[in-house]
A and B are shown apart, each in its own frame.
Chain A
Amino acid sequence: MDSFSSPSSGSSPKYSAEDLMDQLKVQLAQAYAEEFLETVRGKCFEKCITKPGSSLSGSESSCISRCTERYIEATGIIGRALFNQR
């Protein structure tokens, strides 16, 4: 956040518009990725780790990887349903 603090008034801007946009792009991409990751964690934990054991079983691991793939696929299906039709 510090990098966004505005330069003291009067002086020329510390960052050009291009610099700011580049920074924002990176930070937005990070924020989107983190949010998505958190959602997938929640959904797949619910689906795959129904009874937490003393370690992650093989079937739980493979469920998690399938779940992750399906969640990404579902996101694509929803996006297309909303914007490619009608």
Chain B
Amino acid sequence: MDPSSVNSPELERFLNQEKQKAMVNEMIGKLTSVCWDKCITGTPGSKFSSSETSCLTNCAQRYMDMSILIMKRLQQ
């Protein structure tokens, strides 16, 4: 939908906000999927072990590091 077709700054602000939220949501969803596959190898228990928890945290942060590295590499 073209925001300019509805002449409302309020709506435009809302749509931009939602766009941003959608991007964040997508990123969290994608990383959760990737890191779940990497870190949760057994059948899910009633609690995460501390190693599973730290694996998930590390996985997400290293994925971001990697993204930056790849971007830099491609820009060279």
Q: Which residues of chain A have a CB within 8 Å of any CB of chain B?
A: 4, 6, 13, 17, 20-21, 24, 28, 32, 35-36, 39, 43-44, 47-48, 63, 66-67, 69-71, 73-75, 77-83, 85-86
Contacts and interface: CB of A to CB of B under 8 A. Distances in A.
Nearest to B1: A4
Contacts of B25: 32
Given A17-B8, A77-B56, 12 more contacts: A24-B14, A67-B44, A69-B44, A73-B48, A77-B57, A78-B60, A80-B57, A81-B58, A81-B60, A82-B28, A82-B31, A86-B61
A43 B6 contact: no
For the residues of B in contact with A, the DSSP-based class is: helix
A80 to B, nearest CB: 8
